[in-house]
Structure formats: C-alpha cells, structure tokens
Structure 1
C-alpha cells in the first residue's frame, strides 16, 4: 500500500498589540516576526526531499494561515520552477479553520472588553471539553473528514496543510490516544511548527508522526 504524508503547519505569530482573542475574527495578519517564522518553516520544507515533491498545499480561510501558506508556496515554487514542474496553488478549505470560541473579541488583561469581566470566567468550567466553544470532537472530526478525502484522492502523495493550534493538536491527540479531548495547556504545537503524519493510504492506519519546530529561534 502507498503511504500518504500530511504535513500540518501552524501559522506564524500574529500582529495583535491589544491582546485580543481573535479566534475567527477577520483582519488579523502575520506580524513581521510571524512572517520571518513562516519563511524559516518554508525554507525547512523546501529543503526537505519529501516536501519538495509535495502535490498540494491547503490552507485555512483565515488571513494568518493564508499568509503563512503563501510564503511557503512561494519558497517551494522556486525549486519547482527550476525543476520544470508546475507551480503549486493555494487551496482553501473551511474544515481547517480555527476552533469556534465564545471569547472572540475579548482582551487578555484588564479594562473594557477584558476576558474576566461580565461573567466570562463562568464559561471556564472544563479544560477537557472545552466548555467555552466548539468541542474537540467537532474540531477533530472535521480535520478527519479532510484527511480521509486526501487519502482517497491523493494516495502516496505529500501534502502540506496550514491550519491552527487547536485543529492540529486535537486531531493528533485523537490519533495518538483515541480521543480528541485534552488539556489545552499541554499542547505541543509551536507557531510555524510542522506536525507530519504518515498514513497507509488504503487503510488509513497511522505509520508515524513527527514534529519539527523550524522557527523556534524566532519565538
């Protein structure tokens, strides 16, 4: 059976001077540091013999993910053009979007709009559920649907996916433990990191999971 590898990349650092919990809000872009993080990860992927042969590049519809994916695309396409290969395009997929969160638009800190005002703290009743937004079951389920589709239509290929911390970790936790519920404080999904999952294309069995943090020195 051929093996399919999906490389899940978390977006780079976001420009957010007011410390807003932006979740799915529009208008939140990579900071200058975030762009450098994305560039470091792009170089890492472009130099990796496996991802040099990537066949598709998917992204969440949110700006920070699309900007990260665009930097990766441009770097990988340099090599593809030199080899006479067709450049990659970005493919947007809503299943890769950030988790829904009832705290969207709130600020971390004090003053008007702060997270801890107006009784918002009452939503923090269960770190494993979570109790303040989209369930981990829902998050992992939509990523699973995306992955099953890739295994069916792109067997044996290398695929890059740019998404967000919660979808990437919820899916990985489900693969490793059988359940997506987890303590969000214990995630291992750094900004611009790469979580690579290799599947047997026919059965969908997991053959291996690796993790890399190419932008660690920029964090």
Structure 2
C-alpha cells in the first residue's frame, strides 16, 4: 500500500454556450451535465471509501466550477472543502475570448505565439507544475496526519495544470498538443507516494459514458 495517494480531479462540464476560454474568470458554473458528473464522481469516491480507502481530505481550486464539482464529494464523504489557490487554472492571454482559431490571425496576438514550448501565451508549464506539486505535497502530508499510512486526498483542479503535472511526474516533456491531453472532464489522475517518493501515476474516467454529449473547450 502506498504511504499516501493524491487524486487530481478535473472539474465537470461548465455551462459555456459561447465557448469562451474562461480561464480564471469568475461565475462560470457547472452545466446540468457537469452537475451529473460531480454526482458521479462523488459516488466513485464513496465506493472507494466503502471498499476500504481512507479518503480523509478534500481541497479545491477557488474557481466556481471546481468548488461546485467538489461539493457532492464533500457531502458524500462528510469532508470540508479546503480552498487551495495553488491549483487554480493556468493564466492565459486569450482568457475571455471565443473562437480562438480566428483570433490567431490578428497581428496583435502574434507576439504571444512565438514560443509554444514555454508557452508564450500563458503561464509557463514549469511554473504550473511547481505550484501544483507544492500543493500536492502539502495536502498529501495533511491527509497522512489525519488518516495515517495509506491516507488519500482529493484536489479538484483544472485540465492544463493537472496534465502538465502528470507529464512531469512521468518524466515527459511539458510541451504538448492540447488536443491530445488525457484529462477528460471529471477524470481522476492519481499520484501514489511512498514517503516523499512518487511511485505511480494512475488515471481513471468515472464519467466516461457522459463525455459524448459534453462540450470541451481546449485549454478550459
């Protein structure tokens, strides 16, 4: 059994009919389907606890969609939601805009496209990994303090910070094609630790059957 596990849970679908890259903007709430995803994830973690998992700690990004995704799990497991700003969505130059592909033809945006490896249009990947992993370690230790060896924590966050953290954990380059991220809505990326050492990365999709009808704005 690992010393501890931290589950990085992506939020559910957001009500976003204009397909805005909403980033860190406030008041983007879960859609009806997103609420169903949040309920499904709560059932997923409740089943894990019923099977013996010691899930003892829950934190979420301060953004509305993350807090709303965390709420059913908090109720199902009788846990308080700790707000964790370090797992917030990445900053992005294109935040608040829709139809991003057409925007790329506008010269005023070209300076932000010079270095896709960093990336130049937003928060550097390495900085995202650093802040998320700092939060992961702190909440991992909090879970172990509460639940002892084998304790588990859930952190509700966002696609890009989760994805680059996983790539770092797997010793892969942080640059990537956003269309090929394996981090679907309401998916769970689990990091297993033995003490300070990360020993395994696992990925599950509790809402796989709900994804066909979901909107999924890249980078959101």
Asked if these proteins are the same fold (TM beyond 0.5), I'd say yes
Alignment-derived partner of residue 103 in structure 1: 94
Distance in 2, matches of 1:38 and 1:151, equals 22
2:170 aligns to what SS in structure 1?
A: helix
Distance in 2, matches of 1:51 and 1:198, equals 16
Distance in 2, matches of 1:16 and 1:118, equals 27
Alignment-derived partner of residue 61 in structure 2: 60
Alignment-derived partner of residue 168 in structure 1: 162
**Pairing 1:139–2:133 present:** no
Gaps of 5+ in 1: 77-86
Alignment-derived partner of residue 216 in structure 2: none
Compare 60-69 and 48-57 and name the one that shifted more: 48-57
Conserved in 1, the CA contact under 8 Å of 2:140 and 2:153?
A: no
- TM-aligned CA distance change 1:153 to 1:70, over 3 Å: closer
Compare 172-181 and 90-99 and name the one that shifted more: 172-181
Conserved in 2, the CA contact under 8 Å of 1:107 and 1:115?
A: no
Alignment-derived partner of residue 13 in structure 2: 13
Distance in 2, matches of 1:193 and 1:125, equals 31
Distance in 2, matches of 1:195 and 1:90, equals 19
2:72 aligns to what SS in structure 1?
A: helix
Distance in 2, matches of 1:74 and 1:90, equals 10
- TM-aligned CA distance change 1:67 to 1:151, over 3 Å: closer
Alignment-derived partner of residue 192 in structure 2: 198
Compare 129-138 and 116-125 and name the one that shifted more: 116-125
For normalisation by structure 2, the TM-score amounts to 0.85
Moved over 2 A (4+): 49-53, 114-128, 150-156, 178-186
Task: Within 5 Å, give how 1:170-189 maps onto structure 2.
Answer: 170-177=164-171, 179-189=173-183
Conserved in 1, the CA contact under 8 Å of 2:57 and 2:143?
A: no
For normalisation by structure 1, the TM-score amounts to 0.85
> Deviation string for 1:131-181 (max 9, x for gaps)?
101000110000111122234443332101100001111111111016533
How many residues are aligned here?
205
Distance in 2, matches of 1:42 and 1:196, equals 16
- TM-aligned CA distance change 1:16 to 1:121, over 3 Å: farther
Conserved in 2, the CA contact under 8 Å of 1:106 and 1:115?
A: no
Conserved in 2, the CA contact under 8 Å of 1:55 and 1:88?
A: yes
Alignment-derived partner of residue 123 in structure 1: 112
